[in-house]
Amino acid sequence: MENKVKVRIIGREYTLGTDNSPEYTLGLAEELDEKMNAMLSEAKSLSGIDVAILCALDAMDEAHKAAANADNIRLQLGEYVSAADRAQSSVDGSKREIASLKKRIEELEDRLNQKTLF
């Protein structure tokens, strides 16, 4: 469902078609407007297009860093899952060994009891 959202960025009004909620889109537009207006007030020689390009570069930088961060997190999760699998295998092996040893103890106790009866 496409939403039509009117936003104002550095004094210009835009009507955007988006699948996102109007609140989300307005929030993004407000954040961009604040950022662009701050840049314009700091560097009076910049044009609107200059500021838009700088904001786009900044957004791309953030997106690339976020993607790299997400890749790193996925790699770490994979390592944690592998370690957990190895630990679980070790626990399962230990449980089998304990069960085997308990059975052996019972057998030895039975043999001991049979010898003491005779």
pTM (whole model) above 0.95 = no
Domain count, the chain: 1
- Mean pLDDT for 77-89 is 97
**67 in a domain, yes or no?**
yes
The answer to the question of residue 24 being in a domain is yes
Domain that holds residue 53: 3-90
Residue 59 maps to a domain: yes
The answer as to whether 29 is a domain residue is yes
Estimate the share of the chain in helix, then strand, then coil, as percent rounded to the nearest 5.
75, 10, 10
pLDDT of 10 above 80: yes
Residue 27 lies in a domain: yes
Are 5 and 18 within 8 A, CB to CB?
yes
Q: Which residue, chain included where needed, has tokens 């469902």?
A: 1
In a domain, 104, yes or no: no
- Average pLDDT on 45-63 reads 95
For residue 45, being part of any structural domain is answered with yes
Is residue 97 in some structural domain? Answer: no
